[in-house]
Amino acid sequence: PQAATDATPVKTPALPDAQTVTAVKHWTDRLFSFRVTRPKTLRFRSGEFVMIGLLGDNGKPLLRAYSIASPAWDDELEFYSIKVQDGPLTSKLQHIQPGDEIILRPKPVGTLVHDALIPGKRIWFFATGTGFAPFASLLREPATYENYDEVVVTHTCRDVAELEYGRQLIENLRQDEMMMELLGAENLNKIRYYPTTTREQSPKMGRITNLLKDGTVFADLGIPPINAETDRAMVCGSLGFNIDLKEVLEGFGLREGANSDPKEYVVEKAFVG
């Protein structure tokens, strides 16, 4: 920030498509979230992603695809990121502070959108790690509750601390008056949160893929197994996770949809490095 004197010109963005960081929160040594200003002209559907980044050492933009974690109605944009110590972008991005600028290309795209699914009764959000980001958007999106009677959110992480961003987000929905009013207090009862860990002890351990295959999830939630008539799913995790979960969903008779061809489930890879 510059001292405001009469001689100081209005600060002009140093980067192409620059947006200003408004908040940063570090969750673990591997995870952080941040908020930036939203370009006035940017319209997107909750669940979509954009390219964001910084100027690289060579002076060229260094960009990666990031799901927008905030909902379409929000004034600002939120992102949830991994920190990779030797990652070209995240080794630098993890040091951003409020007032800094990042590059944000205002061209949202993606398949984790309600438009890519045909109507159903129950929607499943399946996330691992930072794959929770698009669901952070969709959980704050009124259409999620208008379209479905039940919203099951599964999040599998290695450790309990890695669940915290998602856990707090869901808990805060029920404590924020504006959110309660916007989404409907009774609608928030549609959320069934199902966190699991794989490497640290927690109340529910195991990969969600295995817990689906052996029926544990359905028994725990007291609901019938996934079925193509009623159940819809969105999947966001590592490549291996997406492949394995697709197979599980196909086993239940769900077919993969797209914007141009809505069906019973959609998949997108979470940002991994």
Contact predicate 50/107, CB 8 Å? yes
Is 95 among the residues that bind ligand A2P (CB under 6 A)? no
Q: How far is CA 189 from CA 1, 60, 127, 148, 170, in A?
A: 44, 47, 20, 12, 11
In the complex, least distance from residue 240 CB atom to ligand A2P, rounded to whole angstroms? 4
Instruction: Report in angstroms how near the CB of residue 83 gets to ligand A2P at its nearest.
Output: 12
**70 phi/psi in degrees, rounded to 5:** -90, 160
Give the distance between the most distant pair of CA atoms in the chain.
Answer: 69
Binder to ligand A2P among 25, 26, 174, 199 (CB under 6 A)? 199
Q: Is 213 in the site for ligand A2P (CB under 6 A)?
A: no
Three-class DSSP labels, 25-82:
EECCCCEEEEEEECCCCCCCCCCCEEEEEEECCCCCEEEEEEECCCCCCCCEEEEEEE
241 lines the binding site for ligand A2P (CB under 6 A): yes
Does the protein bind ligand A2P through residue 28 (CB under 6 A)?
A: no
Site for ligand A2P in 104-133 (CB under 6 A): 128-129
Query: Least distance to ligand A2P from the beta carbon of 10, Å?
Result: 43
Q: Please choose, out of 12-20, 38-46, 63-71, 236-244, the segment that lies near ligand A2P by the rule CB under 6 A.
A: 236-244
Binding residues (CB under 6 A) for ligand A2P: these are 128-129, 156-158, 198-199, 207, 209, 238, 240-241, 244
